[in-house]
């Protein structure tokens, strides 16, 4: 345990020293370059250099966000407004890009962060390194080199300890051990404090968060409306081409039977058999249609049993593990069910897998679903793919989708939907 704490303290010290160096070089250089570029807008040159400078600044800030997550588990959301995808080219498009980036409040918070990072941020990053490296000096003094440092008759001070003899050099070692103990105990927290300071400037403000939330809800609402409209068109088409056509044919057969029942009973009997088959097929198609809208097993027995029933109909071996003590809201269950159904369909049609494993559980206020197959891999949630449709479906409930599908497999699709069980 102590060895782990010492290792973590040294690691935090090394990382803090690296951050200090980067803050005093990268932040200073980038701040100077960006400010000069913005000032050059008045003579036109900055219109071409500023977007590149701000893009570099955003990349630099994003790298710091990544380090915050990797080194201290501090998550810093990205607050930038997305640029339109239909920006024009040439000089006009360059001006539009420059204006949009400068109008983004997050850009000016990045400037403020650069100022803080090269001053307070560099000091806060250096502190963990000091708590680890400063005690080394006490060992150097105890080795007898205090005489060199105290040459000329002036006393050498190591913190509050006046070193002018071997005894006081050993006292300096004791003080160095106290500092080292503080570093072992507090270095990870000090590094986290540095990244917390970074988060206060690089993260979105409450107003930015609210604006992003509104934009997200607007987008997902449009997706939900489009999905509902497409679903209604599908139901209408299925009814028109399937059950409705069969019922019309059955009505015509019944009219013919009525005319033949006395003249040609044998032919009427054949037509009755055909009408009975048509009614059975129409009923089956209606059941399939209802199952596609909202499966009865989902309404009656919940998500777990509905996915198990879905797995039983797959042509490949499927194992489903469910740990849901209670049920989620019906809309959430429906979205999760059809998302799993789409993933199963993709696995059967495109992956070449012969085995699928699904895990469904609820933890930390999240419904988590993972579907893994042993197929050839290469799946991606790109535009036009079935996975992008799943992503939009889950986005209506603030859900997310992640895909891990290296070439050669396996493919793992992970879905999370925030919800509570009742």
Task: Please say which residue of 264, 293, 322 terminates a domain.
Answer: 293
> In sequence order, which ranges of 244-401 are alpha helices (DSSP H)?
244-260, 265-293, 296-301, 303-312, 330-346, 386-395
Print burial letters for 327-366: b (CB count within 10 Å at least 16), e (below 16).
ebeeebbbbbbbbbbbbbebbbebbebeebbbebebeeeb
Are 215 and 145 part of one and the same domain?
no
Q: With contact defined as beta carbons under 8 Å apart, do 351 and 376 qualify?
A: yes
Distances in Å between the Cα of 366 and the Cα atoms of 121, 327, 393, 403 are 35, 12, 16, 18
| Domain end (from 293, 320, 355) | 293
Q: Within 13 Å of residue 226, how many CA atoms lie on the same side as its CB? A: 10
Q: Are residues 43 and 153 in the same domain?
A: yes
384: left (phi over 0), alpha (psi -120 to 50) or beta: left
Same domain, 170 and 84: yes
CB atoms within 10 A of CB 39: 12
Domain extent for 226: 208-293
Q: Do residue 153 and residue 227 come from a single domain?
A: no
8 A C-beta contact, residue 234 and residue 400 = no
Question: What's the pLDDT at 282?
Answer: 67
| 316 close to 355: Cβ distance less than 8 angstroms | yes
pLDDT tens digits, one per residue of 35-76: 999 899 888 888 889 999 999 999 999 999 999 999 998 999
Residues 6+ apart with CB under 8 A from 105: 79, 205, 208
Same domain? 156 vs 93 = yes
Tell the burial category of 324 from Cβ atoms under 10 Å away from its Cβ (0-12, 13-18, 19+): middle
Domain endpoint, select from 234, 260, 293: 293
DSSP-derived pairing of the beta strands 161-163 and 156-158: antiparallel
206 phi/psi in degrees, rounded to 5: -55, -35
Instruction: Identify whether residues 320 and 255 lie together within a single domain.
Output: no
ω into residue 73 within 30 of 0, thus cis?
no
160 and 110 in a common domain: yes
Same-domain pairing of 276 and 399: no
Q: Are residues 47 and 169 in the same domain?
A: yes
Cβ pair 392, 223 in contact under 8 A: yes
In this structure, the answer to whether residues 135 and 254 fall within a common structural domain is no
For the residues of 195-219, what is the DSSP string, one character each?
HHHHHHHHSPPHHHHHHHHHHHHHH
Q: How far apart are CA 81 and CA 170, in angstroms?
A: 58
Is 278 exposed, middle or buried (CB count within 10 Å of its CB: 0-12, 13-18, 19+)? Answer: buried
CA dihedral sign, ordered 296, 300, 304, 305: negative
Residue 327 belongs to domain with CATH number: 3.30.565.10
Q: What pTM was estimated for this model as a whole?
A: 0.63
- Are the C-beta atoms of 348 and 314 separated by less than 8 Å? yes
- Rounded CA-CA distance 107/197 in Å is 17
Taking a C-beta distance cutoff of 8 angstroms, is the pair 381, 401 a contact?
yes
Residue 269 and residue 316 in one domain: no
372: Cβ–Cβ under 8 A, 6 or more apart, which residues? 356, 357, 358, 410, 411, 412, 413
Determine the angle formed by the axes of helices 166-202 and 105-116, rounding to 10 degrees.
170
What total of structural domains would you count in the chain? Answer: 3
CA distance 316 to 167: 79
Q: Can you give the pLDDT of all 422 residues of the chain as single tens digits?
A: 678 888 888 899 999 999 999 988 988 999 999 999 989 988 888 888 999 999 999 999 999 999 999 999 899 988 888 887 777 777 788 888 888 899 988 999 999 999 999 999 999 999 999 999 888 888 888 876 666 666 555 677 778 888 777 788 888 888 889 898 989 899 999 999 999 999 999 988 888 777 766 776 666 666 655 656 566 666 666 566 666 666 676 777 677 777 776 777 777 777 777 777 777 776 766 666 555 556 777 878 889 998 998 888 888 889 999 999 998 888 888 888 888 988 888 888 888 888 999 999 998 889 999 999 988 888 777 665 667 778 877 877 888 888 888 888 788 999 999 988 88
- How many secondary structure helices (H) and strands (E) does the chain include? 15, 7
Q: Does residue 396 share a domain with residue 252?
A: no
């Amino acid at each position: 345990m102590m060895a782990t704490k010492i290792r973590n303290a040294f690691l935090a010290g090394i990382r803090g020293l690296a951050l200090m160096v980067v803050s005093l070089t990268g932040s200073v250089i980038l701040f100077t370059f960006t400010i000069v570029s913005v000032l050059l807008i008045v003579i036109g040159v900055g219109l071409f250099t500023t977007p590149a400078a701000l893009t570099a600044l955003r990349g630099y800030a994003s790298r710091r966000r990544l380090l915050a997550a990797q080194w201290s588990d501090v998550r810093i959301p990205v607050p930038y407004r997305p640029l339109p995808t239909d920006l024009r080219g040439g000089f006009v498009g360059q001006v539009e890009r420059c204006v949009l980036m400068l109008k983004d409040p997050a850009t000016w918070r990045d400037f403020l962060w650069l100022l803080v990072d090269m001053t307070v941020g560099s000091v806060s990053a250096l502190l963990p390194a000091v708590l680890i490296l400063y005690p080394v000096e006490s060992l150097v003094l105890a080795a007898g080199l205090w005489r060199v440092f105290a040459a000329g008759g002036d006393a050498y001070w190591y913190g509050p300890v006046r070193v002018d003899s071997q005894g006081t050099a050993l006292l300096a070692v004791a003080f160095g051990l106290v500092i080292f103990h503080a570093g072992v105990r507090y270095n990870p927290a000090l590094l986290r404090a540095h990244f917390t300071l970074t988060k206060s400037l690089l993260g979105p403000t409450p107003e930015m968060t609210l604006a992003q939330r509104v934009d997200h809800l607007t987008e997902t609402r449009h997706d939900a409306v489009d999905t509902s409209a497409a679903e209604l068109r599908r139901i209408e088409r299925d009814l028109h081409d399937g059950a409705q056509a069969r019922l019309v044919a059955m009505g015509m057969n019944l009219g013919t039977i009525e005319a033949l029942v006395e003249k040609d009973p044998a032919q009427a009997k054949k037509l009755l058999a055909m009408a009975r088959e048509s009614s059975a097929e129409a009923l089956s198609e209606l059941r399939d249609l209802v199952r596609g809208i909202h499966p009865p097993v989902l309404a009656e027995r919940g998500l777990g049993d509905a996915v198990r029933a879905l797995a039983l109909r797959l042509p490949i071996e499927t194992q489903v593990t469910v740990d849901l003590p209670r049920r989620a809201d019906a809309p959430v269950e429906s979205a999760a069910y059809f998302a799993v159904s789409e993933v199963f369909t993709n696995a059967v049609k495109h992956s070449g897998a012969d085995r699928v494993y699904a895990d469904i559980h609820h933890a930390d206020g999240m419904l988590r679903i993972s579907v893994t197959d042993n197929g050839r891999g290469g799946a991606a949630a790109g535009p036009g793919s079935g996975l992008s449709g799943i992503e939009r479906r889950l986005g209506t409930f603030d859900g997310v989708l992640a895909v891990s599908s290296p070439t050669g497999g396996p493919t793992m699709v992970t879905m999370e939907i925030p919800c509570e069980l009742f």
